[in-house]
Chain A
Amino acid sequence: MKDTKSHPVGPTVPKALDADKVDSSQPGKKKNRGQSGPSIFSVLTPYKKPLFLLVLVALSINGLALVLPKIISHAIDDFAVGQFNAQSVSWLFIGVISAVFVLTYLQGILQTIASERVGRDLRQALSEKISRQSYAKIQEVTPAKLLTNLTSDIDSVKMFVAQAIVSIVASIVTILGASVLLLSINWRLALAVLTILPIIGGVFFFVLSRVRKLFVQTREVIDWLNKVINESILGASLIRVLNSKQPEFSKFVQASTRSKELGFDILKMFATLIPIVTFVANMATVVILALGGHFVIAGSMSLGDFAAFNSYLSTLIFPIFVIGFMSNVIAQASASYGRISSVLAVKEQPEAGTLDTKLLGNIDLKNVSVIYNDKYALRDVSFSVKAGSKTAIIGPTAGGKTQLLYLLTGLIDPQQGIVEYDGRAIADYKPSNLRSQVGVVFQDSILFYLSIRENISFSEKVTEADLQLAIKSAELTDFINELPEGLDTIISERGTSLSGGQKQRIMLARALALNPRVLLLDDFTARVDSQTELKILKNIESNYPECTLISVTQKISSVEKYDQIILLMEGEVVASGTHMALMDSSPEYNQIFDSQQSTQSYE
């Protein structure tokens, strides 16, 4: 219900820009981010089996890798005493390296499949979540962010699964193994060495907790970049007419620079983290050298043990470096996963309505108010429309006409009041039922990169007969017949290949193909000439006789004979009635009428 109300104010300054400022106030604003959300490791839960297999394979590779030096040293020993059997050693060796080859290949395949599955399933979950959101919610979250969620954010998580898991598990196993060995050789020295683990752990924790915020910000900059690029493409014609390449470029550079700066902030962290880890580990070897040297000199440790201790020490330290490198991947993935989870955690619109009845077409608005950006877009609007009648909504630009249409379509919900179809609130209806009976033609051209046929039969319930009737009624027959590929012509990117009127009529056909009980037109007449408009309206009357029509329009001449005309100004119903009644009673209506005296459309 609060969707429309909670539109963020001031996205002018891209969110990423104020990210610095937001830091302190984050927890209150976006809980998911402040509380760091679910752990990145929780993403792995459903993939336990393949991941277990993956880890098993990785560990066996490590194990086999240890066997090879043994074979070689045995071979040398055997050769030295003249017992070398070239054939058996070769076969053994080749057997082991073939096994390593196969297992390594298998590991690669398993890693790929596991990470891509995680990516695919997360995308699927996200897209299903998005598809169930309200229009207002999508606008609030912004398409730019959702695009990043579905692309870059998922990529980070994928990278984590592909690279980090095996390395981390293998590293931990190695560290544990080496620790045990070290402890068994000399527990005092070993304890001295193992003190570096909590130190390094502390450093990791410190850096990672800081870097996560930075990674979240880098994702927000990607949202920002997405938006700038997208707007520069949608506004391509305008930019060329105004020769505003330079301002566009500056906008982009601003975002791109921010991205670079954040990159440097993160780089500084990791450029410090890695040497610190290395240094601490190296210092451990120095301490061991001094301390162990002391033990050996004092006679409490044998020289052989000391040599062995030293060689195992490098086995302990190497995996620590690996984890250091992986921490980058982990931090990035956990930032991205936090963003994804926050979308997945969004409450779903309750679609409780169950009414599955056929509509008659009676519509009632009772004291409806819509607040938009802290201002009444519609205030206390009430009116009734009888089934099968024709109603026009007329009024100045920005008077709330389009909002009214969105209400009737259920795209937005009113803050106050109720919208009823046949005496029942919109919310009582099963959305699919309502939407298959209410056809709407938006004023802005929204066509998909699909064939004309697919665009018109966009709703799945459309039959071939519905399609043909809709095409005929929208006066599209000639146009489509002239196209070399007819109905199968693809409407290219954003319908740029079509004229305004053609797009408008395809959109009308899309609504008519539903066989709608209620047809909502938003300024349909603006782009279609009067002659065609007249024909189309006649077609609708004869082909869809029971259809209730509500038409938002500027033009009185085409709606003079309508059953009801509602005059909407500044969000309020100023007057309503038939044309004649309004001419008698409403000065505002008269003013509009007068302004159109010479305003017939040609053709």
Chain B
Amino acid sequence: MNEYTLNTNEEPKRKGSILSAVRRLKPLLVSETVQIILAALAIVINSTLTLLGPVIIGHVIDTYIATRDFNGVLLYTGILTAMYCVGFVASYAQTRIMGGVSLRVLYRLRNSIFEKLQDLPVAFFQQNKAGDLISRINNDTDKLGQFFSQSIMQFIGNIFIIIGSAIAILLINFKLGLAALVPAALLLFLSKVLGPWIKRKNAINMKSVGGMSAEIQESLDHFKVVVAFDRRDYFRKSFQRTNEDNYHSAVRAGIANNTFTPVYGFASNLALLIVILYGFNLISASTFTFGLLISFLSYIYRLYDPLRQMAALWTTFQVALAGWDRIHAILQMNSNITILTDTEGVSRLHDKSHPEAVMEFSNVSFTYATDVTVLDKTNFVLDRGKTYALVGPTGGGKTTTASLMARLYDPVEGMVLLNGRDLRTFSAEERAENIGFILQEPFLFSGTVGDNIRYGNPKFATVDNTKLTEVLEQKDLQVVINKFDKGLDTIIENGGDSMSLGQKQLIAFMRALMRAPKLLILDEATANIDTVTEQLLEDILRKLPPETTKVIIAHRLNTIADADTIFFVNSGSIIEAGSMQKAVDLLMHGKRKS
């Protein structure tokens, strides 16, 4: 059931050749085609000018300086200056355009990963560490960006130069050309063999970086406990361990990354030797001349110089691929919480369903990834406008039941119905509009109290504080907001770390009530709020529109006392307790599981 775990120990499936790897990167670049063509043009101009420069200077020396024609010299200095001005523009364009491509690719890539994260269900975040995900979004994308900005054009350009030079030397002398290409062929073979190894070393390293990032994130988020339990050394030691691990994996990756450079260098030098020895041989046999050998050698340089650069580029490419794999692992995930079309399933239960009910559980079973059955074929109906209480021992399944009502998870078996319709057929907007759920562990975003009350509420997203205050007043929530010394402007730092749980619960309460949901679920929503304030909140709840259905999970009896029906949730079953006394009896004497 750990379908969302990213960091498995399995080797990633190795998919085919370099070409298919390049193809996988293609979608990122499609929209940049024009830019890439422009950049390529700039590169061609720029390199042509760079190559032409020495040729012209040579020409000037030979024809004008040697003949003492200073006017000719001046003419060509003018031409050269003009050329270099064009070169200036081309060089600017080249860097600017490719840099732009890289920045936009990076931008789109990061955004699409983040967007994907928002599509994935809660279960995903229970199976993956926050720090590792952050590392994927920030660091791994960077590796791709580096490849795009620095290497890709050089990569393509070099391939053309290499092929051109190869053809040239084959034309000059086929046999000698072939001999000179032997080391290049060996390199090609070696690159194919070593490429995956380099990629793997880098993948291991990136995983270790992700692990380190997760470690740091956890320790920093839990710093309070680290200090209070005098385990500053825990932070140090656990970090030292991951740091040391990372050092080793990084050194291994680094050494792998530095393998190509000496190998390519060696091969290109070897080619020189082959050409000289074989060339002398041919000259002795009178099938070749000195002049041809000299120009042949210059082509060999032209062939192997870019090939030498390819060593570094090829490595960058492998690193980028390793990063891409880690990113792709997220992008290719699909949420199993999908929206079904209306027809499926609904009729299946039609005879049994209660269309008038707000919510119904029909044979609902649920199991977490740990394979422990939390709910086993449970059935119950919630009627409109009533108040329900869920009671039961801790760990008995109350929060799970509530989470199924809000579709944080889908049942393994059976169906949850909202307004007589399968909950899975509702769009996320409809669901959020109908169901309000105050979570047991309230979460606040950095910002102000006002930001947090508005959060995720399209109706109030653009409403200013004065208006918001009016609405709060209408809903009798003014007393609650007054509990904060600066009201709506009270600052919330670091995800609410500066607030007490009680304060967080107050904000979560306001946030949920401002949405005026039809079904309001309160999971220990007031557990850390003082009882006097809690009474205020209860009054507010009582004044909600009569059609509002409330589901309350709480320990305090008065919170439950108002309930029309009490459900007892334990050991996989949800049963109606009838009266409060019955519920208390069940709790005292029933099978306890916690």
New A-B pairs, 9, CB < 8 Å, besides A68-B269, A499-B396:
A112-B251, A135-B227, A274-B91, A306-B65, A401-B500, A449-B214, A501-B395, A554-B529, A555-B531
The A240-264 residues at the B interface (CB cut-off 8 A) are 240-245, 247-249, 252-253, 256-257, 259-260, 263-264
The DSSP consensus for interface residues of chain B is helix
A147 touches B261 (CB 8 A): no
- In angstroms, Cα B500 to Cα A42, docked, is 44
Question: Do the beta carbons of B84 and A127 come within 8 Å of each other?
Answer: no
Known: A267-B100, A297-B70. A236 touches B503 (CB 8 A): no
Q: When chains A and B are docked, how far (Å) is the Cα of A131 from the Cα of B70?
A: 73
- When chains A and B are docked, how far (Å) is the Cα of A598 from the Cα of B531? 11
> Complex Cα distance A100/B308, Å?
14
Q: Does B45 contact A (CB under 8 A)?
A: no
B263, B527, B583 pick with most chain A CB within 10 angstroms: B527
* A222 CA / B141 CA spacing, docked (Å): 13
Centre residue among B133, B135, B225, B555 by max chain A CB count within 10 A: B555
Is A562 an interface residue when CB atoms closer than 8 A count as contact?
no
Interface residues of B in 203-232 (CB under 8 A from A): 209, 212-214, 216-218, 220-232
Residues A527 and B88 in contact in the complex (CB < 8 Å), given A12-B446, A242-B457, A599-B556:
no
**Nearest Cβ on chain B to A261's Cβ, whole angstroms:** 9
CB of A389 closer than 8 Å to a CB of B: no
User: Smallest Cβ distance from B338 to chain A, in angstroms?
Assistant: 13
Binding stretch for chain A, among B16-24, B123-131, B184-192: B123-131
Report the count of interface residues on A (CB-CB < 8 A): 177
Contact A293 B95 (CB under 8 A): no
Contact A109 B126 (CB under 8 A): no
Question: What sequence of 0s and 1s flags, for each residue 241-280 of chain B, a beta carbon within 8 Å of any chain A beta carbon?
Answer: 0011011001100110111011101100110110011001
- A256–B141 Cα distance when bound, in Å, is 12
Q: Are A500 and B127 in contact (CB under 8 A)?
A: no
- Cα distance, A527 to B524, chains bound together (Å): 8
Given contacts A285-B57, A306-B65, A602-B583, contact A229 B229 (CB under 8 A): no
B-contact 0/1 string along A408-419, CB 8 Å cutoff? 011100000000
Q: Which residues of A contact B396 (CB under 8 A)?
A: 499
CB-nearest residue of chain A to B480: A397
Chain A 212-243, CB-CB to B under 8 Å as 1, else 0, gives 00000000001001110111111111111111
Asked whether any CB of chain A lies closer than 8 Å to the CB of B92, the reply is yes
Stretch in contact with the other chain, from B172-180, B318-326, B431-439: B431-439
B516–chain A nearest beta-carbon distance, Å: 13
Is A210 an interface residue when CB atoms closer than 8 A count as contact? no
Asked whether A310 is an interface residue with its Cβ less than 8 Å from the other chain, the reply is yes
- Judge whether A155 is part of the interface by a CB distance below 8 angstroms: yes
Expressed in whole angstroms, the minimum distance between the Cβ of A446 and any Cβ of chain B is 5
24 contacts across the A-B interface (CB closer than 8 A): A100-B269, A108-B259, A116-B247, A130-B235, A152-B142, A237-B408, A242-B457, A244-B432, A267-B99, A274-B91, A278-B88, A279-B87, A285-B57, A373-B486, A398-B503, A445-B441, A460-B231, A479-B594, A499-B394, A499-B396, A523-B502, A526-B527, A595-B534, A603-B555
Alpha-carbon distance between A131 and B231 when the two chains are bound, in angstroms: 9
Partner of B555, one of A242, A243, A529: A529
A411 lies within 8 A of B224 (CB): yes
Residues of B within 8 A of A93 (CB): 269, 272-273
In the bound complex, how far is the Cα of B396 from the Cα of A282, in angstroms? 78
Chain A CB within 8 A of B342 CB: no
Q: Is A139 an interface residue (CB 8 A)?
A: yes
Bound CA–CA A413/B333 (angstroms): 47
Is the C-beta of A88 less than 8 angstroms from some C-beta in chain B? no
Quick check: A232 and B220 within 8 Å, CB to CB? no
6 cross-chain pairs, A with B, having the tightest CB-CB distances, nearest first: A108-B258, A501-B394, A244-B456, A112-B254, A397-B502, A242-B456
